[in-house]
Structure 1
């Protein structure tokens, strides 16, 4: 599996959205048709100005004003919480968890909608094989330690958990190695057991 690092690697580019003047019933129908729980709301120029969710619709349904049209512009939450395609998967996941969101619009530098990333999209990184993860950790650690003295590190990955063991020439390198391994996409946990061998 290819290395999945940023939102660009996992986002859905075929995005369903609504305009500011989209009516309540049309929003509900669009959500039902595409089986989504929220929709980006776009300006006339294609920029994301808000998001309308099922929660917004349910709240509006409790106090409908027959004399006022209920449109996406009235219903949407603004400003929209968005990410760019260069946002790391970890950063997008933290934002989604912190804001209790199921989906995030992905925008370009000018705020135009270019995709959507969901919780399920972000979890794709954990579908990487253990062999693929292990190979990347070995390559990364080799690069980190190439000029730091004699080190012998073995890497074994099982169910996304990286087991690191061997010898290091400097005890301060253990934290460096563990942090590097933990940052590899698909790693669930890192367990290290090193001995320190000081060069004679």
Structure 2
């Protein structure tokens, strides 16, 4: 009659250990995929992964498929903001990511890379990063004259309810909150948040009609 094997530090259960390793690999793969989709993958993590799999990729029968390289950085603002509609929900890791539900209308102001954009959710009146794959472009694109402010001095604090800016940077207004406050997009830092508009802090760009 076979006896049931028990795992202990001196004599681990190989089958149980193999199952645990497979589960850990799946969890790690899911986390890495999320980081790539949200633009959070860093060179340090890439290096650590390379060092981790290196022993198994040389003279070893174990086949390990390395995740694809991160999307190249584009970091380009859009001259004419684009309108997209979300077809799936997205809840990012922190306040720097926009919250999205299916059907939400997002105004896109910039692309970080091939998988991540920066936009403003017109339903929540909040903005941030989000995966491009969660939405589709709305056609035809409505044209909205951009409302641009030039900061004439540095100010603000980067945070969930504030946008920091340096002297000379452009802030594109997403919406006016109150008479002296706006929610905007910093075209230099690709950040979004509230700014307090005072006579000595910003100058509004005036668009003159061509003659």
Bin for the TM-score computed over the shorter chain: under 0.3
Q: Pick the structure with more helix per residue.
A: 1
Q: Pick the structure with more strand per residue.
A: 2
TM-score of the superposition, structure 1-length normalised? Answer: 0.26
